[in-house]
Amino acid sequence: MQKRRLGRNGPEVSAIGLGCMGMSDFYAGGDEAESIATIRHALDCGVTFLDTADMYGLGENEKLVGLAIAKRRDEVFLATKFGNVRAPDGAFLGVDGRPDYVRRCCEASLKRLGVETIDLYYQHRVDPKTPIEETVGAMTSLVKAGKVRYLGLSEAAPATLRKACAVHPIAALQTEYSLWSREPEGEILAACRELGVGFVAYSPLGRGFLTGRFKSTDDVPQDDYRRHTPRFQGENFDKNLALLRELEAFAREKRCTPAQLALAWVLAQGEDIVPIPGTKRRKYFDENVGALSIALSADEIARIGEALPAGAAAGTRYIEPAMNALNL
């Protein structure tokens, strides 16, 4: 398995990770047995970078991951997150970065995961009411206590990232990045490289859209979160489908799937970028890992990027309340 380093002085991880969110929440068609089998299959294949969060399934995803890795902890680089607060019915209640909350969340995640140490602990969203220095200070105390090895932030602006790095080294910034979400190519990636912070790309397949699986809005299940997101609705869906056709045409040229080409493009944007495509099925995992064997020339990278240019995707990444929670 190919490896990449998270940041200038951070840990070495598998070049592709496995996002576990959809195994327990948001996306329809969950199957716990197949999800556990997928995680264990990933470890067998050398993909050891697993990503979860306390909000996924209201903690159930951490329990599932913990069950899957119970006898294989030493093989895993385990990342989880805190900060997004949800009600028992799943409603989003806001973001909390207060030091006491950070410590309580860490203890709860350790228990659900069944581990003594979290390898990479992210603040899932930045709390606008709590100075980032206070939040990272509390996270630093977790490192000193041996409960956490490395620290990360998710969807943090460059200015926030700089303030955080002044308190403690930040190993990784996790932000959405794909051929239809190219916002990091501006100041965000530049700041990461300046500060020596690794970049973890979540939703590198555009929440599954770039796989080509969805040909109409009817293909999105009624109980699936994506049905309610702007890019999967109405005219936006149709416009984005036209972009997908461009990707599919390139994939036919390369004799690979659109998903593999989309991941290969993200991987080609820099050795400091680690995508974490999510899946809950072994067959899709194997397809995703196949992207590592696809070599793209500079001309091909440019052509793909021009066919799906920055800002071309129709619709915002999230609904308005979730967009407002981003630290932009």
Given this model, what pLDDT does residue 321 score?
83
Given this model, what pLDDT does residue 325 score?
82
Given this model, what pLDDT does residue 327 score?
79
Regions in the chain scoring below 50 on pLDDT: none
What 300-306 contacts at long range (C-beta under 8 Å, 24+ apart), as own/partner pairs, is 300/250, 300/254, 301/265, 301/268, 303/250, 304/179, 304/247, 304/250, 304/261, 304/265, 305/179, 305/265
* Nearest to 195, CA basis, from 216, 212, 218, 172: 172
Taking only the tens place, the pLDDT of each residue in 138-183 is 999 999 999 999 999 999 999 999 999 999 999 999 999 999 999 9
Phi-psi label, residue 80: left if phi above 0, alpha if psi -120 to 50, beta otherwise: beta
Amino acid in position 76? V
> Cα-flanking dihedrals φ and ψ of residue 174, to 5°?
-105, 125
Given this model, what pLDDT does residue 12 score?
96
Q: What are the residue boundaries of the structural domains of the chain, listed by start?
A: 3-208+269-293
Catalytic residue annotation: 56
Rounded-to-integer distance, Cα 77 and Cα 70, Å: 13
* Nearest to 125, CA basis, from 162, 174, 87: 174
Whole-model pTM: value is: 0.93
Rounded-to-integer distance, Cα 227 and Cα 56, Å: 18
Architecture of the CATH domain 3-208+269-293: Alpha-Beta Barrel (3.20)
